[in-house]
């Protein structure tokens, strides 16, 4: 099952970045006040960017990369999603999965 990195705009105009397997369910959790502490009282959230990742590790690395950006850089990323490809290309590759003994 795939993981997704999402960027959501809060009602106060701030941006929140997170990961989830089911983005719609996660946004619903944020809106209900049971998601991340940052989003409590800042809803409703509007998803402005979503990117699929093949595994959780890669999603976490991409989320971290996005969170390191300044607010202006995040706004530019939302305005031009193709810039996300540059961030993805700079990520360390996922470590190889260990082979199971037969």
- In a domain? residue 98: no
Average pLDDT, the chain: 89
pLDDT band at 102 (very low <50, low <70, confident <90, very high): low
Of 4-8, 11-15, 25-29, 36-40, minimum mean pLDDT range: 36-40
Task: For residue range 28-44, list pLDDT tens digits in order.
Answer: 999 988 888 888 888 89
**Is residue 81 one of the residues assigned to a domain?**
yes
Domain contains 26: yes
Specify the CATH number for the domain of residue 86: 3.40.1440.10
Report yes or no on 74 lying in a domain: yes
Work out how many domains the chain is built from and give that number. Answer: 1
Q: Is residue 78 part of a domain?
A: yes
DSSP H/E element including 84: helix 83-90
Specify the pTM.
Answer: 0.84
- Which domain covers residue 46, as residue numbers? 3-90
69 lies in a domain? yes
């Amino acid at each position: 099952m795939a993981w997704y990195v999402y960027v959501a705009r809060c009602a106060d105009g701030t941006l929140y970045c997170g990961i989830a397997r089911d983005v719609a369910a996660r946004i619903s959790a944020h809106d209900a006040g049971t998601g991340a502490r940052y989003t409590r009282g800042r809803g409703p959230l509007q998803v402005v960017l979503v990117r699929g990742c093949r595994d959780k590790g890669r999603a976490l690395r991409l989320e971290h990369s996005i969170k390191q950006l300044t607010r202006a850089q995040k706004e530019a990323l939302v305005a031009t999603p193709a810039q996300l490809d540059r961030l993805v290309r700079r990520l360390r590759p996922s470590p190889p999965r260990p082979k199971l003994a037969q």
